Structures are given as C-alpha cells and as structure tokens.
Structure 1
C-alpha cells in the first residue's frame, strides 16, 4: 500500500474543478507528499552541502506506506543535481527481487561511465568478494561527489543488498552519499553501518516521517478544495486517513471532483471516500503478493491477529515450515501490516476487511471456524471468539454455543444489545438439542424486545407454536416475555392457539403419571392465567375459534394464577382482603421450584398498590429489580421501574418517579417500545411531568398521536385520564370532564370498577361542579364513595369523601371529618394534609372534639395500623397532580387574624397547632424544613404570638368561636 509513482506537477482538482467553485491553490500533487517536511528537507540539504565539501553520508528515510518517503528522496535528487552533484537513482520492486543485481544495474545504468560493467553483473555468481562496478564507482566519486538514491530498499534482491552493504563499508574513502527509503517497520531494511567501525567517520542519519498533523491536513484541504475546511471536517479527514499524505491527497481529490464542499454537512461523504481509497490501496498491495504462504499468513493475521499471538497465527495458516523471520519480513514488506506494541497487526479495519473479502466465501468461513477453535483452546476472550464465530461455518461443538452465550452476556453488560443479538442468532445456527435451542431462543427474544420488538413477537410466537415436547415447559415463559414487551396481540393469539390445541388441563391422549398430570395441569393453568391478562387488553378478538379464557380456579396451583386472580379482584374492587392474600401468594416461591413468571408478579405488586400495602409492594419491586438486573433483562427492568414510579407517585415523591422513568428510558428507549404499549408509557410520563410541574413537557407528550390499535386497550384509558388531568391543569373543565368520562367508559368495558385504580368519577364530578352542574357532579361522586367503601381501602374512601365535601352543602364538615379520619389511616399523607387544611378552613365552631379528630395517627404498613417510626412520606392522590388549596368556606366570619396568613402559612400553622414537628410538616407539605421554619416565623409575627403554645390556644379558640 505504497505511495503512487506520480511525478506530474498538476494542481490537484484543477482538471475537473466544479462550476462556481474557487480555484484551488497551486500546490502540485507531489507537494501534498512534502507537506510538513521542512525539517527533513533542511537536513537533507545540509547533507548534500557537506557531500559537496567531500564529507560522505549514509541517510535512511522511513515512514508508513504512503508517507512520502520516495517523494522526499526524489526532491533530494533534484536538489543535488541543481548543486552539481552526480546523482544515481534506483528503485527496488517486487518484480526484480529474484533478479541478480537488479538495483545495482539501475544505479550503474544511470551514468555512461559505468555502463561497461553492466555485462559482468550477471556473471561470476559464485566468485566471492566481487562487486561489479563498485571500485569504478568509488574512483569516479573521488573525481566528482556522487549521491546514490535507492527507493524501497526493503525489497532489495540479495546481491544488490550485499553490494550496497559493501559500499556502505567503503563510504569513508570517497565523497559519496547513500540515500535510501523504506517503510518504517521493525526488522525491515538493512543495518547499513553495522559491521565496520570505519563508517563512524561518515554522517549517518535515519529520518522517520510522521503523518500529517491537523494543521497540515487543514493546509491540504485548503489546497485541494480551494477553501478553508470546517474544524469538524478537518478532524474527520484526520480520523479517516490517519494523516497519511497519500490517502489524504487521493481522498480530497475525489471529494472535490464529486462537487462537495469541506463543511460539517459532508463529513460522512469524506469518511466514505477515505474508506474507498484505503481499500483500493490495500487491494493493490494485496495483488502484488506472489508468495502463497505469505498470503495465507496475512489472511490469518487479518482474521485473528488481535486475538492470537503471531506464532499461533502462523500455525493457523499452516506455514510452520517457513522461518518466522522470513514471514515477518515479507508481511512488513507488503505495507499491509504494521508493528504496534510489539505485535503484528493489519493496518486498520478497512485493510482488514479488504483482505478478508478477497477470500472465497467457503475458505473465509472455514478459516474463521478454525481460528475460533484455536482461540478457544488458547482461552481467548469470549467476545473475540464470538466475533470469529459470527463469520464462521457451524462448528458443531458445544463449546461454540456456550462461548456465544457468554459473549452475549458480556455484550449486554456493556450495553451493546445489537452485538448480543448477533451472538445469540449465530448460536442458533449450530446443531442444538431442543432444550438448549429454546433457551437460546428465549434469551434472543428478550434481547430483541429492546432493538426489534416486532421481530421478537414473531420469534416468541414461533416458540409457543413449536410442537416439540421440550418447548411445552417454556410456553408460559415465552408468553410472559411477550406481555412484558407490550405485544398483547401476539401473546393473546399464541396463547389462544396453544390452549385450543392442548384442550383442558394438558395435551395428548396417552395416560399420564400423577406427577406428570399435575405438572400438565399447572402448565395449563399458567397459560390460562396469562391469556386472561392478554384478553382484556383487546377490544376485538382475533378470528380464532376459541372461547374466552375460563375463570381461574379458586385454589390456584401456581403463583401465576394467584397473581392474575389478585389483580382481577382488585380491578373489580370486590374483596380487598382476598386480593391482598392472593397477591402475597403470587409473590412467593413456586411449589415445584419453577422459575417465576414476571407479569403475574407485577400484577400482584400493582394489587398491593390498590390495597395500600405500599411497603410490601416496594420491597417486592426492589427484589424484582435486582433479579432483572442480574439476568440482564432490560424489558423487565424497565417495567419494574415504571411500576415503582407509580408507587412513588402514590407516595407523593414525583422526583423519584421521574428518576425511575429516566432509568427505564435507558433500559427500554421510547423508540424501541412496542406500539401497543405506547399509551401506558405516555400516560405515566404525562402524570409524572404534571406532578413535577413540567406542564409544557407533559402537554407535548400527550399531544403525540397514538397508534390506532393501542387506543382500544385498557391502557388507552390511562392515557385519557392523564389527558384529563392536563386539561384540568390548563383550566379547561369542559375538555377535562369529557376525557374523564371517556376514560370511565373504557374502564367499565374492561371490567375495571375499583376507584382506587383511577378515580375518574370524582375527577369528572369536580369538572362538572366547576361548570356549575351540581346534579351531574354529585351523582358520580356518590357512586365513587359507594364503590370505595365496598373496596374498603381507607385512602380511596377518604379521597371520595374529600371530593364530595368540596361539592356538598350541609354535610360538608361531616364529610371532611370522615376524609380526615380515613386518610389518617392511609399512606397518603399529602391527601391527609389537604383534608386537614380544608377542615380547618371550614371553621366548624360546634365540634370541640375536632382537635382530637385532627391528630395524625402513627403510620406504618398501609391498612394494618402497625406503627412505623419515621414514615412520613408525602403520598399523592390517585392523581399525583397537586390539588389547589380549597377556597375558604365561610359559614361564619373567621377571626380577623387568621385570613391574614398566606395559604402556605395557614397550612403550616394548622399542622403545627395539631402537634406535628417541623420535619413532619415539611414532609406533609413537600417543602424543606427551612421553609417550614420561615413560614412559622412569619405566622408568629403576623399573629403577634410567641410560639406553638399560643398558636394551639389560638387554633382552639378559632374552633370554639
């Protein structure tokens, strides 16, 4: 891959300059190879000057292929000729490496005085000590200083090499200089001045040519393109070409002829062109290789040179009979290999790809397979072996599958899902037993859910439809994975087909042992439970002749069935204790020791959210998250984080919810989610943004179009609810009421009655009340209270009572007292605080026992009444949108001092009067402790009191007025 032998002085880009483009600077093509060579030119000029004064010299110029060594030697030859020095030139070529004295013949033919020695060059081959023309050359040099210029000395034929070595030893006896060029590779080229102390009296110099710097590359861009290149463009040229002058010049000339401009918009174009130029130079150098042994070693080095040491590469190529030193020299001579950190490596990925692509497909696949096996025996890196296996034929060995699976795990740990999927896909090309194949297929499907969810759905469907017995035990896991990815359509279709073919409680007509029958029944129950999860998420069923999923048994055999039954009971709002019992059973271990399914466990945790057992739910979610991280299941991690974000919203911690959603986006990017799961993620993001005060961001997300099939799912109701909250925050009660009612219609269609899931009735009632329709407002609010009391969760009852209190008349205070009582036993401290403030603002003077009613009870596990010290987290209502402080209700005039407080000061004063510490008030109001201190100080100043004792007395007096 050397530099071109182009000695014309045509300005680059001049012949095909694009119309309207500025004319390039008059820099010759050869001038690009001499950019940033001022130091080297000055040194060569000094050597030539000393040669004219009679001092001999020995100069070697080295550089990477294309660095401009030969062009610098030609410049020195022209410079010496201009100063009256005799110049003899030659160039070693691969074609003359077997020709005796090929380079010497070129040198002597350069002057008439030496031509009579040419016939003797090919005679007397076996006579030692004879160097034709050498004596005559030394004599002529004493008469006139002579410069010998030899290009590419690493390709010298053996006789010419010995001749030049003899000349080097005789340099001190004549005003003669030897200037040579070669590639800058270790072990390449002769050590000219070794072997004779006499060469110490001659000037000896070795010049190493570096690549172009960024400044030099910018100069080349300006010269060839006719304008200054953008910084990003110049950086791209440096990165794509490595600063190699030949590659830089060819790339820029092609770039200019294509009519492009050197700006940031054309960075990709210049990278593509640079790759083409590098590949063509590599192909040219590859075509010049004539030794098949060297070619085999070069191919083996391109395949696994970064993974195996050079002796193993030679063994892979089957070239053990050839001396290693000869192979090293031949590889370095090709210009396609460089030495880095003491290792032989192919010069860049483009060159490596070109070498491999030149091989026939069958040989290439076989070489990769043999390289992978050798790397396996050498205990190389799993991902390195996996990369070899990706391009290899099937090896038919168990180690290959194990290595590919380990490589996939390493890639997942590094966040490279595409690479992991490639490893697993390649593992499926090997001959595998059914149990191993289904395991790899499931692992691949889990990876593809992130990068190609639709393809993952097709793969999962194929797993579930596979008739082999070994697949039967994995069908429920496949369906579980499909539901996690959000492809409920594929999951429902595959489950319905499986159950339709299997029949009730097992498949097959052969008699089964009791243990086998019980296992078959358990598998059937799991599939049925998952079908019940998928079926409600569709409005129109697929055209499959199968009845709806049957009711699960009252005594489930599997935790999966318990989890589904728990969620169905919670959605119906029928039996809170039974739902809690089933949810906890679903989160326990499987009786048969089977791996637990994820979707039923998530449903169990969602059930615990509705039963207000938030501590239990958070504990199990953290365990699920740890398990998913350990197994590198990104979709599961994202789903668990999303559910934990819902838990944080119910606890009034929207900042933590936003953090979990951001982490979920990293695990499962929005563009990688299945279209059917769009409403779920959008609704959760909108509600979280509203809770954090990011209304504009929530509005932008809510306005994005939803795929039509996703609108007809139960999660579409969640999105309608979120949009209703947004309309409520925007002060649009008409739109809010319509959205909340639409949400309710969808939920009722899917059998979701429990107001603890989404309190759409109270929200619709509040919107109707804001529009002045009292009758339309009270009906859904009373219905929600009735359903909440049937469910029995204190938080749901308290929220319903609070909503009714804001719209009722005579029984307002009684309902507020009931709301305070129920919310005090719920995990929703923020809702409790709002109820307390509202009750204090109502100013009921006839109930002195109200002070006792307002005292906050100790809070522990939701619904149990077990105290838990320090648990004072603020918990939002079922909608985490902060409700505005209710307008003061004035059944009678308030004391003149109380209305002088701001809403924030009034809330802090009420809670302080009820005995809460500053830290508890801060948690209840979602502010800092310092803010509470400042508000109370302002309260004391405005009310002209000295502390909490007087504040409690004043509050008591207000209640008793």
Structure 2
C-alpha cells in the first residue's frame, strides 16, 4: 500500500541518512499507535537505502522471541555484509553473550546484564563495517526486542554520533512494556530525533480509499470511511476490501451504504493482537459490557490500567467515546472469546449490573449469555425482564429469559409459575410450541403446585390443542377449589365463563358458577375488566344477536386496547363481536390497525390470529380475493398443524373464498387436510361445517351439503348460539333442499330464518329473503329479491348482493322482461367482478343490454343525493311508481330526477343507467 500522509516523516528520515553518509551519525525513534504505518514507513525507507548511498541492515522484534537473549542483535549481525572471519567472530561473541546473560533483578536495573566486553565487541563490528559502507540500521517493533539486545542497541546508539550510521527504531505507543530505559536512553541523545506518526486525517483516508476504488466511491461514503476507521490505515484498507468483496459478489452493483464485513473485523483483531495481552483483555471486557462503566471491576484490574487501555484503543481508531466505532468490531472481539471466559465475564457483568441498579433487562441479558444463574436473585430478575420484554414486544427475548429461569429455578411452585409464563410467551410465536410443557403443568396441578389462575391458562392451552379430557379435569379441579381462591384466580374464572360460552360451549358445565357482581368486584385490573367486557360482549352477540349498546361498548374497549401481554383475547373477542353482529365495516379498520401493531411487536401468533379474523371479516363483506389473501397469510405464519381446534377459523374462510371464486381444485386440497375431531366441539367447527357445505353445494352434492348444514344447526341449537349472525345455516340448508327437490322444506327453513332476523341483521335477512324468493312464484320473487338486494347492499356483502342480483336477472328473464334483465345483469356482472366471483359472473347473460358501468358523463357532472337514490332504484329495475313509494316522493319528482340524471350522464334511456351506481357513491366524469 502506498504511503499516505507520511511524506514529512520519510523526508526527515532521508535527511538523517544524508547526515550519516557525511559522517554525522543519527538515531530516529518512529512512534505511533498500532497499525499507523510504522512498519511500512521503515520498509519503504530501507528500500531506498542503496539509492541514498547506504547499506540497509534490518531486524524485527517479536513478542514470542522476547526471551531469546541477543535475538534481535543476531538478526542485525546476520543481515550485515561481514567477511567470513568477521562473521565467525561475531557468531562466537553472540553465543558467548547469550550463555552469560544474567536476568535483571530489580526495577532499578530493568535490562538483562551482558558482559560489557561482549557488548563493546559486537557494536565495534558494526561501527567498523560503517567505515566501509554507510549503514542504515533498522529495527521494527523494538518494544518486543529482548532485553539483552536493547542493552547493545542503546550502547550502539550512543556511539553512532561520529559514525556513518543512521539507526532507526519503530516503537508502538500502545505497549505495556516496562522497558522505558531504551526510549529514555535514546531520546536523551542530542543526535536522536523522535518521529511521531498520527492517524490519517479525513483527507488522508479519502486519498487512501480513492487510490483503490476511485474518487466517486470514496466521496460517496466519505464520512463513513473516516468515522468507522478512525484514521487507522489498516482499518480503512480493510473497509476497502469489504467494499470490493461486495462489488464482486453483487456483479459490480455498488452498495447502498457502507459495507462493514469480515475483513474489517479481522483487521480489528489484528490491531489488538499487535498490542499487549492486557489491551486485548480490556477490549473483550468492553465488548461484554458494551460500555466502559464497571470495566475495571469486571476485569479485576486498577482503574488506571483501564483508562490507559481505553486511551490507546481510542487513538488506534477502534473506539469512540468509550465504545467500539462499529458493531462489527465488537462482534469480532466477542467471537474470539472462548466459552469459559465468556460465561465468567457475563456472570460477573450480571453481578455488577445488579449491584449498580441496572435494568433487569441488562442483568438478564448477561445471565442469558452466562448460561447459568448462581445468585439467589437471578431467577426473579429473569422473570421481571421477561415481563418487560413481553410488554415491549420482544417475545423471543422473553422466551429465552423464561427458559433459563425455568431451568435454574429450584422452587417447585415458582417453577410452575415460570412455566405458565413461558407457555403464554411461546404461544405468541407458535401456539404449538408450548405443548411440551402441558403435561408438566398438569402433573404440577395434581401435586398442588399450580396456582388457580395458572390452571386456567393450562386449561385454555389444552382446549386449543383439543385435549378436552385433560382440560375437563383441570376445570373440575378448579371448581373443587371452593371459596379459598385468590383474587387473580377468581378474575380468570370470571373471564373464562363468557369465553368458553362463545368458543368452547360444551365445557362451560365443567367450570364453577360465578356469583355475578360479587366476583366481578374482585377484578381490580383495568386490563382484566376489558377482557371480561369483550368476552361478555361476544357471548351476548352469539346468544342474543346484535344490540347497538353492546357494539358501542365494544368500540370503546378497542379504543383503549394495545397488544400488550394480556390484551389479545380482548382484541379478538371485540373484533369478533362486531363481525358476528353484522358490522364488519366497523371491525375491519380496527383489525388492520392491530395487525400492524402485531407485526411491529414481532408476535407471529397474534399476526396469524388477526389475519384469520380479517379473512372472516372479508367473507362477510363479500371480498373473496381479500379473504383468500388473509386466510393464506394466517396459515403461512402458523402452519395448519399448529392451529389445533382453531384451524377451522382460517380454513373455513379460505374454503368459502376459493369456492366463491370457482377454485374447486384448491378447495379439495384443503378439505383433504386432516382436522382435529375435537374441533367440532368448538365454534370453529361450525364455520368449518358451513364452509364444507357451501363447497358441496357448489360442486353439485346437495345431500352432503344439507348434512353439514343440519349438523351445524344442531350444534348451534344445543349450545344456544343459534343466531343468524354467526352462521346462517338455515338459508344454506334451504338452498340444498331446493337442489334436492324439497321446496316445502326449503320454505320452512327460509321462513324460520326470517323470523330470527331483524333490522340489526340486514345481511342474514337479505340472504334469507333471497332463499324465500326461490320458493315462491315469479311475481313474488321479484319483490322479495328487490328487498334482498337492498338489504345486502346496506349490509355491504358484495358477494351475496351479486347472488341476489343474479337471481333477479333470471326472474325477469322468466317473465319476459329482457330489458330489465339486461340492466340488472350488467350490475350483477360488475359486482361479481369486484368480489372475484367468477362462476357467478359467468352464469349471467352477456348481451348488449347489460351496462357495465362505464360513464360518458359531461366533465364535472355529479349527481345529487336525491338523483342518485332515484337512479340506483331505477337501475335495479324498479318502476317510477315503485321508486316514488319507496322514497316517499311523487311520480313527477321521480321523472324530473331521472331526466336530470340522463342529461348529466349523457344517456337517453333507463337501460343505459350504470349498473355500478350505489347509494352514496359519487359519479363524476
């Protein structure tokens, strides 16, 4: 590598050599921190020796040869051009000197003692040689030279003043060497000059980088090149290597940001290895702690040593403000720590952090890295850190803390509490993960080591996995606990009742009866109250149907919710209450909001559960492509095998969507997947039966469909959840009966469905009205189908609206009203396309009378609300008299509105009205 910002130093050395050639010997001590280019400077200087009229004689100090007496001096003698007689004499002197070296015995006499006559004779050989050739004596890394050689070199340096010798020594400033004698001895000589090499400036780093990768690339990351390297040439060069490696791997495509990779990490380690062992040890301690606080206590050394090491590491470009300049440096240092030292350092760091009042997360992270808990406070710290991690959405960290606490805890009851927390935490990642702990918790409950509230958690986990007999035993065990339950247990039991009512109805009998307001008074947590209110709202909607005051309360609950440790049940119950109450339009934005939050919290299980709910919402909005997308997302995040009995949720939405879109092969593939038999003892089983029945209807197997619909109805009736907002099974059963040629049975089912519907259930009402129409004569059917389309448009279910419009087209065709049939067909086609219902749209007529909704309005033309309402009904096939009756206006007013509408839309007749018109939808050019 070419020298950068070293011209002045090189010129100084050349000036010293020029003096030496003239008989005025000189000494230079080149100093600088590690990897600042000292060796490169000396090598470049030595290469120019002959051109400058001198003979180079070189040696290099090494830490591993520090105990080899006269090792460095031997290198110089061997590199000198001595005649055979001189070389033989020199080798004899070196051997004799090495044998007679006496180790120093005190700080006052830091260098090994070498016989003065031997020192004089060896140095005289070099002095005499300089009379024949001007000598350039170069010793690199002199701080690692053996002490006997240092004694000889200091002797020689004092005597070169009038010889043709320039002696150049490089010395690193970062060493812990006690050999200050040599530096002191040199620098007190008047013919010695110290040359200090500083780190490269910002411009220097830019110059170094530009020479290798070009000016454009260097300028692009100019600040980063300098900031990460700290001006250290070795580190800057390593960053260039990383950059070039990236270019090679990417086919020449430049990176978007500075690349800091393995080359940089290796350069960091190289810098540390060149220093003293203590320097590397301090770097490892710093990497463990992340900062300089408590570093001296961690390493068990004095603060002065740590301060000195941090200074050297900073000057070397590795640190800034007491921390590594880049995480890659810290990673590289940590990778070099062996497992034993790693565990010891982290254990000690945990103790120091705990004593210093650090956060439980900091302490727990060190305990986790240590892999064991020795201190009595360790398990409690891990539990607290896990709770904080769950609140912050760091689920994987929480699981890791709890697993260590579980392994290290010796108290059985506390261990079961930790196990329950671990089940909850693992559930967020994958509901199948905690299954291995369930048997342990069940055994602990039998031994009396599981608290009541934790037993409820166990029961719910067992229910998810379909282990109903075990869940029953747990619930019955709780019921036998009697009045001695603590407030937390009472809270969980009170909340569990409506949750079981809505999700696992058969198991409600195994849970003790609560005492209403008395038990509710035991719930003091706001979070627990929200969970209870949401569960009660869902149970109320499924038992009694939608009530506006309940839905308003649900939205108040959602406004106060976040996906913290305990609120997923709250969110799920509240969203489903809105959905089953026929308000998917109100549930969808909330579900999207919580899905985004779950994604940011890295909670896959919650993301999947919310995606499943979103798919169900989309089904009720008639958005079949959206339902397919959300259901597939749910099953991609959590595989079907991990959904347990809840598999019926996303699976039924996917089957309904794919069936509506005519993707029957894909449906068949999913229905072939095995599902737990226990699922049919849950709410999820109802949805699965309904979806499977709809598929059977679509593929012309009405008898199979009827069986599924009737089984669904039997379960809903038995569980007292027979509300049309959950599953409108009677309407589907009526359709199956019609396919089987049983019109009277179909009429009875449709009438019963209608009796159960009310103003708050327009979707179920509209679906039932469509089936009721199918059992009457043509004239009756038109009126019923018109009402059905109005109800379904109000409900916002585009798929069911398309089905009603399709039926209306067929009725008008039977009556010979082909113009009306064509108008409605166009609208039905447009709605069917929007909801992805391919088979439905394909069955509709495609003659020219069906308008697809393309407008030819004059620029700026917009229908008023009154005009739009009239136009919508007219496009749906209503006569002027019928429109007047529905809107409570005169026939003349209807005619006036239609005339203005035709003019604004640039059409001439009713048949040309756009089929895509809706109440509240603006029409513009």
Please tell me the TM-score bracket, short chain as reference.
0.5 to 0.7
User: Which residue matches 1:7?
Assistant: none
**In 1, are the aligned partners of 2:61 and 2:141 still within 8 Å (CA)?**
yes
Superposition deviation, residue 687 in structure 1:
5.1
Instruction: Label 1:939 to 1:564 Cα distance change in 2 as closer, same or farther (>3 A).
Output: same
Task: Give 3-state SS (helix, strand or coil) of 1:425's partner.
Answer: helix
**Mapping 1:257-406, distance limit 5 Å:** 294=278, 302=284, 305-307=287-289, 309-310=291-292, 312-320=294-302, 323-324=305-306, 339-341=318-320, 343=322, 349=331, 352-357=334-339, 359=341, 365-378=343-356, 383-392=361-370, 393-398=372-377, 401-402=380-381, 405-406=384-385
Q: Which of 481, 493, 517 is the aligned partner of 1:507? A: 481
Change (3 A) 1:40 1:89: farther
Are the equivalent residues in 2 in contact too, given 1:464–1:479 (CA < 8 A)? no
Structure 1: distance between partners of 2:647 and 2:377: 41
Matched, 1:97 2:69: no
CA distance in 2: counterparts of 1:475 and 1:882, whole angstroms:
49
Q: Deviations over 1:438-486 (max 9, x none)?
A: 6644443232124453331333554455334761133224444666xxx
SS of residue matched to 2:741: helix
Alpha carbons of structure 1 residues 424 and 804: separation in structure 2 relative to 1, 3 Å? same
Provide the rounded CA distance (Å) in 2 between the counterparts of 1:231 and 1:627: 38
Are residues 311 and 902 of structure 1, via their aligned partners in 2, closer, same or farther at CA, if it must alter by over 3 Å? Answer: closer
3-state SS in 1 of match to 2:318: strand
**Could you say which residue in structure 2 is the equivalent of 1:902?**
851
- Of 134, 155, 159, 2:144 maps to 155
Q: What do the CA deviations read for 1:645-686 (whole angstroms, capped 9, x no partner)? A: 5335434567887897799789x5558943544442244356
Seen in structure 2, the aligned counterparts of structure 1 residues 409 and 547 have a Cα distance that, compared at 3 Å, is closer
Distance in 1, Cα, partners of 2:516 & 2:330: 65
What is the Cα deviation at residue 377 of structure 1?
3.9
Q: Secondary structure at the match of 1:904?
A: coil
Alignment of 1:394-793 (within 5 A): 394-398=373-377, 401-402=380-381, 405-406=384-385, 409-410=388-389, 413=392, 417-429=395-407, 431=409, 440-460=418-438, 462-463=440-441, 465-467=443-445, 468=448, 471-480=451-460, 487-490=464-467, 492-502=468-478, 505-507=479-481, 512=483, 549=510, 575-576=544-545, 599=569, 602-603=572-573, 606-612=576-582, 635-636=605-606, 638-640=608-610, 642-651=612-621, 670=639, 673-674=642-643, 676-685=645-654, 703-704=669-670, 707-710=673-676, 713-714=679-680, 715=684, 718=687, 722=691, 733-734=698-699, 737=702, 740-741=705-706, 743-744=708-709, 747-748=712-713, 750-751=715-716, 754-759=723-728, 762=731, 773=739, 775-776=741-742, 779-780=745-746, 782-792=748-758, 793=761
Of 229, 249, 263, which residue of structure 2 is paired with 1:242? 263
d(CA) in 1 for partners of 2:867, 2:784: 23
Q: Secondary structure at the match of 1:305?
A: helix
Classify 1:42/1:599 alpha carbon distance in 2 versus 1 (closer, same or farther; 3 Å): closer
- Residue 407 and residue 69 in structure 1: after superposition, are their counterparts in 2 closer, same or farther (change >3 A)? farther
Deviations 1:487-546 (CA, angstroms, capped at 9, x unpaired): 3324x34421213445xx4326xxx57xx5999887666666666667579xxxxxxxx9
Q: Note the residue ranges of structure 2 that are not aligned, 5 or more in a row.
A: 201-232, 521-528, 559-564, 816-829, 877-897, 918-925
* TM-superposed deviation, 1:394: 1.7
Residue 153 (structure 1) shift: 3.3
Per-residue deviation, 1:423: 1.9
Contact 1:648/1:654 (8 A) holds in 2: yes
Q: Structure 2 vs 1, CA of residues 843 and 302 (structure 1 numbering), >3 Å: closer, same or farther?
A: same
Deviation digits for residues 112-147 of structure 1, max 9, x if unmatched?
558287567848988999985557635633531333
The 8 Å contact of residues 303 and 388 in structure 1, kept in 2 or not, is answered as no
The alignment of Structure 1 onto Structure 2 pairs a total of residues equal to 776
Q: 1: CA distance between counterparts of 2:38 and 2:156?
A: 22
Deviations 1:410-462 (A, max 9, x none): 5874x654333112222335558788656644443232124453331333554
- For residues 110 and 589 of structure 2, the distance between their equivalents in structure 1, rounded to whole angstroms, comes to 91
Gap change, CA 1:462 and 1:802, over 3 Å in 2:
same
Q: How far, CA to CA, are the matches of 2:677 and 2:251 in structure 1?
A: 48
CA distance in 2, matches of 1:169, 1:777: 122
Structure 1: which 5+ residue stretches go unaligned? 1-35, 223-227, 248-277, 538-545, 590-594, 847-873, 890-897, 926-932, 953-961
Indicate conservation of the 8 Å contact 1:434/1:470, yes or no. no
Kept after mapping to 1: 8 A contact 2:13/2:28: no
Matched, 1:943 2:908: yes
Contact 1:390–1:423 (Cα < 8 Å) also in 2: yes
Q: How far is the alpha carbon of 1:385 from its aligned partner?
A: 3.3
Q: CA RMSD in A?
A: 6.7
CA positional deviation for 1:242: 0.9
For 2:696 and 2:856, the matched residues in 1 are separated by 27
Alpha-carbon distance between aligned partners in 2 of 1:202 and 1:562, rounded to the nearest angstrom: 79
1: CA distance, partners of 2:195 / 2:794: 100
| Structure with the higher fraction of residues in helix conformation | 2
Aligned partners of 2:149 and 2:678: how far apart in 1?
85
Secondary structure (helix, strand or coil) at the match of 1:489 reads coil
Q: 3-state DSSP class of the match of 1:708?
A: coil
Q: Distance in 2 between matches of 1:39 and 1:632?
A: 48
What are the superposed Cα offsets for residues 767-787 of structure 1, whole Å, 9 maximum, x if unpaired? 887xxx572577446524423
Which whole-Å deviations, capped at 9, do the CAs of 1:584-613 have from their partners, x for residues lacking one? 799989xxxxx9886587456535533435
Q: 2:769 aligns to what?
A: 801
* 1:18 equivalent in structure 2: none
State the alpha-carbon separation in 1 of the partners of residues 397 and 655 from structure 2. 33
Cα contact 1:404–1:427 (8 A) shared by 2: yes
Deviation larger for 134-143 or 518-527: 518-527
Pairwise CA distance, 1:197? 7.4
> Distance in 2 between the 1:830 and 1:298 partners?
70
Matched residue SS, 1:713? helix
Q: Distance in 2 between matches of 1:671 and 1:314?
A: 53
**Relative to 1, partners in 2 of residues 1:172 and 1:812: Cα closer, same or farther, differing over 3 Å?**
farther
Kept in 2: contact 1:699–1:726 (CA 8 A): no
TM-score, reference length from structure 2: 0.62
Q: Normalising by the residue count of structure 1, what TM-score does the alignment of the two structures yield?
A: 0.60
1:640 CA displacement: 4.4
Query: Residue 289 of structure 2 contacts residue 349 of structure 2 at CA under 8 Å; is this kept in 1?
Result: no
How far apart are 1:801 and its partner, in Å?
1.2
